[in-house]
Structure 1
Amino acid sequence: MARTEDYDAPEAPTPNSLVVAASAVVTDDQGRILLQRRRDNGLWALPGGGMDMADSLPGCAVREVKEETGYDIKITGLVGTYTDPRHVIAYTDGEVRRQFNVCFRARIVGGELTVSDESTEVRFVDPTDLDALPMHPTQRLRLDHFLKNRPAPYRGRPGTRRPWSR
């Protein structure tokens, strides 16, 4: 199923669902960041996805990283919470979602690199090479916050509303 992502686009469709999700910035011992090239839109992204009813948010990040990359991880911190209503994701099945994403810091504790059916490629990327990769601005924002090693997690922008959210 294909998807398109809009950010701050007045013509973006109105969401019909809200999904709680988790992602993780996973680094190796060389400081490179684990990324996947998504099959549904061809863009590079952090591993992550929607939370199941039986998940906790950290558990969701651990499960999604394992499913999408083959690695077992340990959560080591929090990058931030990402809830911007200007970010809308539309799927070809008619779902148009807003996402509430919590992005964690993590390190590998086991497993081995695999490519899931959700990706075309999974690899570690040196932070100096990130700008050359096609990536949605919301992914870049999370990576930017991680790389700045902010003293406190990002908590979003207060007061941001879309016209359809009156």
Structure 2
Amino acid sequence: MARRDYEDDPNAPEPNSLVPAASVVVVDKVGRVLLQRRTDNGMWALPGGKMELGESLAGCGIRETLEETGIEIEITGIVGTYTNPGHVLAYDDGEVRQEFSICLLGRAVGGTLRTSDESFETAWFNPDEVDALPMVASIRKRLDDWRSGRIPVVR
């Protein structure tokens, strides 16, 4: 399913859903960060997705990371909370989702790097390499917040 991100765009469609989601900054033992290139928009992104009923936020981040990248993780902290009502995700099925994402910090503990039906490329990057990658502004913000070491104000 194709998706388009709108961030503070006056031409963005009105949201019709609000879905809790988790994304994860996954770091390996040498300090590289795990990213996936998404099939729905072609951009590099953190692993993550919507929370399922009966699931914890940490469980969501762990499950989504494994499903999308093949990497097993443990959650070690939080990067930030991202709820900008000006950031909406428009899907080709008609859903227009207002952002509601908690970005977690995770540590790789196992697994084998692979792609999924949601990613056509997965890779580990040194933190300074991510600036050159194509990604939506909201993902770049999470990575910048992680690299700065500060926990942002609730957005």
TM-score by length of 1: 0.91
CA contact (8 A) 1:82 1:155 kept: no
1:80-119 matches, cutoff 5 A: 80-119=80-119
- 1:60 positional shift: 0.4
Provide the rounded CA distance (Å) in 2 between the counterparts of 1:107 and 1:33.
10
Provide the rounded CA distance (Å) in 1 between the counterparts of 2:121 and 2:107.
20
Aligned to 1:78: 78
Bigger-Rg structure (1/2): 1
4+ long deviations beyond 6 Å: none
Q: CA RMSD in A?
A: 0.8
2:49 corresponds to which letter in structure 1?
Answer: G
Aligned to 2:47: 47
Quick one: percent identity of the two aligned structures?
Answer: 57
**Number of matched residues?**
155
- 1:107 positional shift: 0.4
1:110-129 matches, cutoff 5 A: 110-129=110-129
CA contact (8 A) 2:90 2:97 kept: yes
Aligned to 2:134: 134
Stretches of structure 2 that go unaligned for 5 or more consecutive residues are none
SS at match of 2:106: strand
Provide the rounded CA distance (Å) in 1 between the counterparts of 2:20 and 2:70.
22
- 1:100 positional shift: 0.9
SS at match of 1:34: strand
TM-score by length of 2: 0.97
